[in-house]
Amino acid sequence: MSVVLEGKLGDLSAWKPEGCSIAKALEIVGTRSAILILREAYYGTTRFDGFATRVGITDAAASSALRKLVDAGLLEKRPYQEEGKRTRHEYALTTMGVDLLPVVVALWQWGDTYLQGGVPPLERVEDSTGEPVRVEIRSASGHEVPLENLRVRINKNWRRPRK
């Protein structure tokens, strides 16, 4: 059972996954720290110390991961100042960061299914109904697409970015 690769993509030895969007995404969010910082941002954490403490990483690791997420456009820095203290920055999700939520929820859902012994510690539910929330692969018209019905083809409109 696998995705069907169409056209030139069908011969795996004849092409390289040049410009792979998965590889590009992993350059930004492919570390444990990056994903867990995003988890914390979804949970409402905004301050540097909160990220470092809740993710369980050093200040240097938190600083590096936050800088990378800000530079990539997933988080933005906003100044704040507590009375009598210097101006500092908090971090807020951007639209780009919010749009990554289904990826993080898919990892969470996979971990619940395969790594939690059948009883996950947390549940994802819709606020208004209390119904469970899950990530699925669906077509533009809304029906679920199983792996064996998923096709990948070269996009005729794609242009290799200039270097």
Question: Which letter, b or e, does each residue of 4-28 get, where b requires 16 or more Cβ atoms within 10 Å of its Cβ?
Answer: eeeeebeeeeeeeeeeeeeeeeeeb
- Match domain 4-152 to its CATH number in 3.40.190.10, 3.40.50.1970, 1.10.10.10, 1.10.3720.10: 1.10.10.10
Q: Where are the domains of the chain?
A: 4-152
Q: Where are the alpha helices (DSSP H) in the chain?
A: 21-29, 32-42, 48-55, 59-72, 95-99, 101-115
pLDDT computed for residue 118 by the predictor? 74
Ranges under pLDDT 50 in the chain: none
pLDDT computed for residue 7 by the predictor? 86
